[in-house]
Structure 1
Amino acid sequence: MVPEDGESAADVRPATRALIDLAVTSGSGWGGPPLPQMPPPFGLSVVTDPAA
């Protein structure tokens, strides 16, 4: 997955292009919408101590 001369990462990695398009269409121009919360034990819902 090495870009040829004149190509960028977005040219050789379709997921990269999709993330760039998402950032452009989200309204801010640099970030996308928040990711959906993952179910426990992967999401932030497993943090129960506010000091943690």
Structure 2
Amino acid sequence: RRPRPSLEPRAEKRMEVQEPPVLSEETKLLLVLSGEAKLLLVTSEKTTVKS
């Protein structure tokens, strides 16, 4: 009575195998870059205000 579960796991496995590693790496890089950009903006704002 369950034809879908046999098809769904394949799609889920494809999503898990292909996308997550790429997304995780890209998202980590984006988070690090965004974090660094925010720090740079904050430090630049502080330095400009102080100067």
TM value normalised by structure 1: 0.26
The structure showing larger relative contact order (alpha-carbon pairs under 8 Å, at least 6 residues apart) is: 1
* Bigger radius of gyration: 2
Structure with greater proportional helix content: 2
TM value normalised by structure 2: 0.27
